Structures are given as structure tokens and as C-alpha cells.
Structure 1
Amino acid sequence: MPTNERPYGSWPTPITSEQVVAASVRLSGLAVDGADIVWSEGRPADAGRTQLVRRSEDGTTADLLPAGRDARTAVHEYGGAAWWVRDGIVWFSDWADQRLYRMAPGAAPEPLTPEPVSPRADRYAEGDVSPDGTWIACIREHHAGSSALDVRNEIVRIAAHTPSEPEVLVTGPDFVASPRISPDGRSLAWVQWDHPSMPWDDTQLLVRDLRTGEETVVAGGHGESVFEPRWNEDGSLWFISDRTDWWNLYRWVPGADIQPVVREEAEIGSVGFGLGSAYYTVLADARVVFVRRRSGFDALVVREPDGSLAELDLPFSVITAVQPAGPGTVAVIAGGPVAEPGVYLVDLAAGALEVLRPPRDLGIGPSMLSVPEPVSFPSADGAGLPRTAHALFYPPAHEQYHGPEGELPPLIVVIHGGPTSAAVPVLNLALQYWTSRGFAVVDVNYGGSTGYGRAYREQLLGEWGVIDVADCIAAAQWLAERGRVDRNRLCIRGGSAGGYTTLAALAREDTPFAAGADLFGVADLAALAADTHKFESRYLDRLVGPYPQARKVYEERSPIHHVDRFHRPLIVLQGSEDEIVPPNQSELIVEALRKRGLPVAYLLFDGEQHGFRRAENIRRALDAELSFYAQVLGFELPADEGIEPVVVENL
């Protein structure tokens, strides 16, 4: 039991900003190449670059990319699927110039694609190598100018081993994804969609006979989101679809009807901002292994050939990739409430784990970690009708400190990005940074979040800035009413779309929040509609309304038009090279609050894009936000951390 008393928020903690970034990595792609396993690591300590790591059969690991190379693509700006492997050869898109490179074992990377007319104008992602190994089908995103109207997304064919001019296979749709070559090399499957849809709204799955050019629309259309097509060796095509409200698994054989493989009131997969998802795999023995999400928590499930399902007893709550890795074995990237993501081999028969890439050894006991509690609470829609929303609640946790008797902890309401995304219950030291200091945190899965079915996801349509704000306020007030947090010290923070919700919640005369932190958030919806990248350039059509027809709605919901309602302190953190939410969005709101004499702090991080990747910037952002809360809520910072105070103007 904690024995030392100290005001909430001021507890000394080993989970400092230095600890948050020390040796930290962001695990993403996962591939099996013969007996080897390959994954990618985003490394904040190495200027945020993405390195590829190969684990050989003998258990040794080695970095694959030479110094200065960064396997990261800017397709859709969010990227994903920037590399792939076959027989020891690696193909990857390099962040610096976005060209596609081939790297044989022991050799230097060699470019396969031509140098574009202008820097980074041709971007490549999500390649699939043909069965005979001679060519690659992949996405090419071509930028002919500076406007979103000048961007063309296509599927191209590229020679796998020698430089060549890409041959266009699919063009016309606004977006294409997941090119997949059939096992016999005769057919190509892909997913496509058009504005104003997003990939979780309406997509189509098509197959083309590469010999005749004949095309078949397999699934999808209005009201159906289809993704992650995958050919099986028997010639069947598998895919995920939400045709019954939940993303479930289906199988198609040419000339036959679509067959449901797994149909449950649970999600298989998640929202498709990044490319290259891997939420299921079909094994050689006809078993299917997939990731199932219920109530915000993931589980690994095996479907037997007879249709029966068995959930494996594993210590994971979030699983982001699954790949076949031998008879009765799969490789996964997964983490849990008290363990950061790692790479593991799972023996399906025994349920045993082999650690391939362990999580960091944090040197922190479990009593220092706050374990999330899934909560559901009452809220309302824009018309005041009752509805239920969801969140993950993290109480303060410390093995040595507790708050003064009669004092309740301050609360930080965290809003995920997207906004069509989700809060996930995996150990995140950047969140424990707060709970170990005496803050309570609630990570809100407001209406519109993924993981709760299509109907819940569509609650945000036309209601962005309404439903999300209502649910964040409802979560804070619900916790305060139950005596779990101090209703006078409610704070709200979010990045990107979450930054918009933060600003919208503060731009209310009746806001319950005492302070807020906006990380690269949207202040002016009309400016975002006019000045963002192609992938999201029509996103607001459904979330708010078509622009400029719905101009009045945009103005009403844009915080920049309601600075007269702001009366709480705000800190704003922004990257200088953000193409998704440009810096002018943050600068508009900061300047408006300065003119009104309101407490505001602003930090611009040079060289950062949408989200901070460099260790020094991640540290400074966390510590600056803590310093901000200390100043506006009135508690002392731990003296031994050497935190540089942030300047809060007009405080």
C-alpha cells in the first residue's frame, strides 16, 4: 500500500519523458520469409526512422537497412505497407525520395522505379510479388501538382529485379488498395473506392483476369466496407466485410456465391487509415486464425474446419498483425495492459508463446501501472436522445504515493484521432506518464469509434463536433458523479481529430473543463476542407456536410469562429511539416486567444509531421504539457526531473 501522501498530479515517478522514449519503438509491419520473421520498427531515438529487422531461424536478429534509409511511404500521407520480402530480398519505399528500392542480401539498395519529375512525386506502397517472382503489383500515388486534385492513385506492374517504367494496371477510381495476385498468377484482386467515401464507408472488391481483361465485382458497394482480400492456394478469395454491421470474414470462389466464414457480433479488423492490415490468415490445414475485437479488447481466435471457434488464452488485449509461420504456428505483433507490443510466435495447439522481439524491460513493477477498466456510460445525440458511449478508464497508480484524504484526482479526458479510430487497451507509457503522477485518465471511444459495429461508427456521420464532444463531457461528468475524479479539475487533450474535439469542447460557455491540450488539431473546418491531402479531402462531406453547401454548419462547429466562448487555458503543440493538419490551423487559434488575453502556450516542432517521431520532441511535448497543467491547476513539479517550464502567456 502507498505510504506517502502528496497532492495528485505532483507525485514523483520513474515514468519520466526520458523513460517514455528510451529505447522505445513502434512495431508495425510483419512478414514471414521462409524460416525468417521480418518486422519494422519506428525508432524515435534514430530521428524517428523506420528500420526493418530480420530474425533468422537460429534466433539471431539483424537490422536490414543501411544507415540513413527509412522504410516509410507517404501514400495517403498515413502510409503503411512500405516494404515486402521474398526469398531474402527486400523491396521498400524510402522516405527521402519515395522511390521503390530492391535490396538483395548483403547488397546495397538499388532503385527500381524512375526518378520522378519533381521530388517525391511518385510514391509506392503495398506490393505483392507474382508467384514466379518476376514482377510486382503495387500502389503508385502520383502527384502532378500541389493540390489534392492533382493526385492520381493507381495500381502498377513493376519488374521485380531490374529498373523499369511502371505499367498501369488499374486507374480511374479515386483510391485503390490491396493489390493481390492469385496463386496461378492469372488474376489480380484489389479494393477501390471513390470520393466522398472513406475505406470504412463504401468500398468494392474487384478481380480482373489478366489474360482477358474481364473484371468481376466480388463484393462491396454503397453501405459496405470491404478490405484485406487474400487469395488461398485453392483459388478462393477471402476478405473482410461489414455487410451485416460487423466486420466479419467471407470467402468467394469464382462462379459461386459468397460464403460467410466467421459471422459474429464482433469486429475482425479495424479502421483503414494505414495500408497493409493483416488481421487473419488461412493455414495450410484449413484452419483460420483471426483477431476478434469485443468491447475494445482483442483476442486471437482459431476457426476449425468444422466451423467451431476457440479463443486462445493469451496475455494480449491488442493484436495488430497475424501471419502464418509454419505448421500450427502464427507470428503476431501484440501487447497487453501491462506489456508494450512485442513480436511473438504462437503455438496454436499448446497456446504457448515464443518471444521474438520482447517489449522493453521497463524496470517498473506492476503496482506502478494503471490497468484500464472498460466502462460504458449514458450520453445523448445532437437531438438530446439518450445513447450509450464507451471508454477505457485508468485510475491513478503509484506504489509509494497516495493523494490527501478528501482530495480527488484531476482527470485528463483523452480523445483519439481519426476521428474514425479507437482507443486501445495496450500499455502506453505516454499515458502512464500521467497516471503515475496522480492523474486519472479516461480514453474515450465516442460515437463514431471503431470496434463496436457499423451502426456505432456511423453515429458520427453529420455529427462531428457534436457526438464526440457530448461523449467526452459525459464521460468526465459520469466519473465525477461517481466520486472518482475532481469535477473542478477536469482537463481534455487530443491530437489531430482529437485536437479538434478538444477545441470544440473548450469553445463552449458551459464547458466543464478547466484546461485543454491541443496537439496538431483542427481549428477551422472550412480551412481543413480546402487545405488537406487527397485521402481526407472529402472526409468532412460525411462528418459535417459537403462544402461549401454546408458552410453555415462548418462555421458553427469551427472553434476559430467561437473564440469569444473560450475562457479556459490552452496549450497547443504542432509539427512544422504537417501535411494533414497544416500549422496554420494551430496558429489561427493561438493568435485568436492571444488577442483575447487568454492563457495560452504554443510550441512548434521543426521537422515534425503529423504526430511527433523524434525522441527529443516527444519528451518536450510531454513535459511542456505537464508544466502547463501544473501552472493552471496549481501543483508543484517534481524537482529532480529538470523539466523546463513552458511559457503560458496571459496566465
Structure 2
Amino acid sequence: MQISAFGTWKSPISSELIVADTLALGEIALDGDTIYWIEGRPKEAGRYVIMGRRASGEVRELTPPGFNARTRVHEYGGGAFLVAEGEIVFSNFADQRLYRQTWDSEPVPLTPESPWRYADGIFDAQRRQIICVREDHTEPDQEAVNTLVSIPWDNSEGEQKVLVSGHDFVSSPRLSPDGRLLAWLTWDHPRMPWDGTELWVAELRNDGTLEKFRKVAGGESESIFQPEWSPDGELYFISDRSGWWNLYRCDIDKSQNAFPVCPREAEFGVPQWVFGLSTYGFESASSIICTFLDRDGHHLARLGIETGEVVPFETPFSSYRFVRVGTDRVVFLGGSPVAPTALAELDLSSGTTQVHKRSGSVTVDAGYLSVPEAIELPT
């Protein structure tokens, strides 16, 4: 046995080992029993592809060669695709147009060639349209113009309607379960979204236009993150008004007051560097599956809405991203200091975890890996 001085022993971990067969796992979406996710391919010049996994176990690469599912809205991107009714709509990096496809069809353009970019879309089933962020670069020497627009799902008319304008940035369109109300976030220079954002709600007419605009939360010094509607039509969001990113419920039809769901010294939100981030979702009208960070680490937990009780799940992971809640399951990206990032699924009934994909196949003896310890510093 060879003994070396501290810091001079030869490690089997090299840069070549780390990047070998490595993928960048990204945003997740659920559509019925099917899981979709983004894979970044370093060996394909960083091309992003959409992958699909059916309940049968069939896994397929859905983005054909020549396409790159990536948006440049806000330059950092995110929120480059959505799925609904078994179909996919995605932004193609080369031309920034939206394309629509199924598992068995080639992508078809949904938007025209233009200086527009798209992100963070949702599907409005009642009006057969997409509602998304559009970034207009018509004037290249001026600041890009961000708006919320609607786009016909079947492209029968091709006409886009501007729904929300007048702010420097907009994100997170969310449609109520009955299709009556739309919520979204805005913010303006010089603030970043973790400094100050505003949460707005408006009524959505049958023709797809908005009326009765209301600001329900946020401001210059309050950061709002991830508005969502519960299954019974109540509006939830994460706010840092207490000094911590906590979860709130808003009485949208009465006082418009916001009530903390689970007040604690913990962060339920994350900085909105990109679109499509998610830290919670609804298991039911009375239960939320969420992640939060406190002095004990990062947790995946079930939160009782009426009681405020938080019960963490036992998993092999120490960090969680892109949390998507489906019927009796939650799918997420799980991180660990001793294993590559995993696309994982947790059964909400049994609490068991299944790994569907990892970002790499490299395995290293745990003795060579150092596990970080949390420290706290006064500020």
C-alpha cells in the first residue's frame, strides 16, 4: 500500500471521467401517464432534445435531428416546451419558432418566421390556444419587448393576440381550473425577479382576451415565485414578504388577502434565473408536494394545507429540482454528492423511489468522494 502526503495522493477522478457520456438533465413535464424531460447532449454540440417515457416503460427521443428544443427568451431560456393531449409544442433554437408534433409525427411550424421568441407556455383547452411569453426583437438596437400572447393551437388562423403588455418582463402564466381566470408575474428594471415582482390576475373572456386586471400581491421589495391554482380553484404563490420564501394562499374572490400556508424559517422558492422552475405541486385540494431548504438541508415533503403539517419523504437525494406532481406520484430531478443527477419518480402511496435516468454512468468508490456539510455564517 502506498501512503502519500495529504493532498498529493493520486485520484482516479479525472476531467475525462467526469464528462464521459454525460447528459444535462433539464425541465420535466407530465401529460397523463407520460413523463417528458429535456436532455442536453454535449456530444451533439449541446443540442437539447425532448425525451418521453410512457407508462409501459417505452422511452423515445422525440426531437428529430436538426431540431434543438431551446428558447432564448431572457437569454437564459427555460420553459422551452409544453405538452397537452399527447402533443408537444417546443421552441427551436435555430429560428426560435414554435413547432408542434406528436410521438409519431414530424414537427410542424406553429408560428411564422419573425424576430419573436417564445417561452413558458400553457395550454388553454377551452379556447384551443397557447398562452405564453413572447419576446419581440423587431428593433435590434432597442430593449426587447416582453408580452403575454395567445396563439391558436391548430394554427388555423395564425393570428397572435397580445394579452399583457407594459412591463419589462413577464412570466408564469397560470390558468384556473375552470378557465375563467389567468394569473401571471411581472417585474421591471432595475429589479431582478428575486428582488421584486408583481402577481396579477384577470378574467379571461370567451374570445381569449383579458378584462378586470387586478394586482393581488408583490411590489418593488417583495419577490413572488411560482403562482399556481389548486384543484378547487384557489390561487397559491411563494413570497418572501416574511424574509423567507414561504407558501401563501390568496382569497382571490373576496378580500384578496394572502394567508401563509406553512410559515417557517425555510425557503420554498428559488431564484427565477430561467422559466419553467417548479418547487411544488398539488397532490389534491388538501395536500401539496413541495421542496424546501432549511438548516437541516433540502427536503421533499407532503404539506397538509389545513394543518400546515410538513412530513418529509425519505429519499436517497439531497437536492430536488423541477418538481412535477401527477396522480399518486411526483417526478423530479434528484441530486446527490455521491451519484449523478437522476430523473426520479416517488410513489406517493408507498414512498418508494424509482430512477428512470441518470445524467451519467460513471461510478466512483464513495471513499474518493467528499460529502459537504452545511455551515451558517452571520450576515
Q: Is TM (by shorter chain) over 0.5?
A: yes
Match of 1:416 in 2: none
Match of 2:368 in 1: 368
Give the conservation status (yes or no) of the 8 Å contact 2:21–2:361: no
How many angstroms does 1:351 deviate by? 2.3
How many angstroms does 1:16 deviate by? 2.0
Normalized against structure 1, the TM-score is what?
0.55
How many angstroms does 1:31 deviate by? 1.0
Give the conservation status (yes or no) of the 8 Å contact 1:320–1:334: yes
Tell me the alpha carbon deviations over residues 201-260 of structure 1, each in whole angstroms, 9 at most, x when there is no partner.
110000011236101111001210002111122111111110100001111132232221
Normalized against structure 2, the TM-score is what?
0.93
Match of 2:179 in 1: 185
Distance 1:297 1:68 in 2: 41
How many angstroms does 1:193 deviate by? 0.7
How many angstroms does 1:197 deviate by? 0.8
Which residues in structure 2 correspond to 1:4-153 (within 5 Å)?
4-5=3-4, 8=7, 11-116=9-114, 121-132=115-126, 134-147=128-141, 149-153=142-146
Match of 1:471 in 2: none
Match of 1:311 in 2: 312
Answer yes or no: is 1:232 the counterpart of 2:255.
no
Match of 1:352 in 2: 352
Where 2:74 maps in the other structure, the secondary structure is coil
How many angstroms does 1:104 deviate by? 2.1
State the identity as a percent: 40
As a proportion of its length, which structure holds more strand?
Answer: 2
How many angstroms does 1:108 deviate by? 0.9
How much is the aligned-residue C-alpha RMSD, in angstroms? 1.8
Distance 1:296 1:161 in 2: 49
Tell me the alpha carbon deviations over residues 288-316 of structure 1, each in whole angstroms, 9 at most, x when there is no partner.
11111124831101112432111112222
Match of 1:159 in 2: 152
Answer yes or no: is 1:267 the counterpart of 2:267.
yes
Give the conservation status (yes or no) of the 8 Å contact 2:191–2:220: no
Tell me the alpha carbon deviations over residues 17-36 of structure 1, each in whole angstroms, 9 at most, x when there is no partner.
22221111111111111111
Q: Structure 1: where are the runs of 5+ without partners?
A: 378-387, 389-455, 457-651
Tell me the alpha carbon deviations over residues 57-104 of structure 1, each in whole angstroms, 9 at most, x when there is no partner.
011211110012111110111000100101220000011111111112
Q: Structure 2: where are the runs of 5+ without partners?
A: none
Q: Rg larger in 1 or in 2?
A: 1
Which residues in structure 2 correspond to 1:215-364 (within 5 Å)?
215-254=213-252, 255-256=254-255, 257-284=257-284, 286-295=286-295, 297-305=297-305, 306-327=307-328, 329-364=329-364
How many angstroms does 1:107 deviate by? 1.0
Which residues in structure 2 correspond to 1:588-627 (within 5 Å)?
none
Distance 2:173 2:25 in 1: 23
Letter in 2 for 1:26: A
Shift >6 Å, 4+ stretches: none
Give the conservation status (yes or no) of the 8 Å contact 1:131–1:183: no
Answer yes or no: is 1:196 the counterpart of 2:190.
yes
Distance 1:3 1:166 in 2: 69
Which residues in structure 2 correspond to 1:396-545 (within 5 Å)?
none
Distance 1:99 1:262 in 2: 41
Give the conservation status (yes or no) of the 8 Å contact 1:82–1:125: yes
Where 1:367 maps in the other structure, the secondary structure is helix
Deviates more, 1:253-262 or 1:314-323: 253-262
Letter in 2 for 1:8: G
Letter in 2 for 1:5: S
Give the conservation status (yes or no) of the 8 Å contact 1:321–1:334: no
Residues 331 and 37 of structure 1, relative CA distance in 2, 3 Å threshold: same
Figure out how many residues of one structure are paired with residues of the other and give that number.
371
How many angstroms does 1:359 deviate by? 4.7
Match of 1:171 in 2: 165
Give the conservation status (yes or no) of the 8 Å contact 2:23–2:359: no
Give the conservation status (yes or no) of the 8 Å contact 2:25–2:359: no
Letter in 2 for 1:274: V
Give the conservation status (yes or no) of the 8 Å contact 1:235–1:253: no
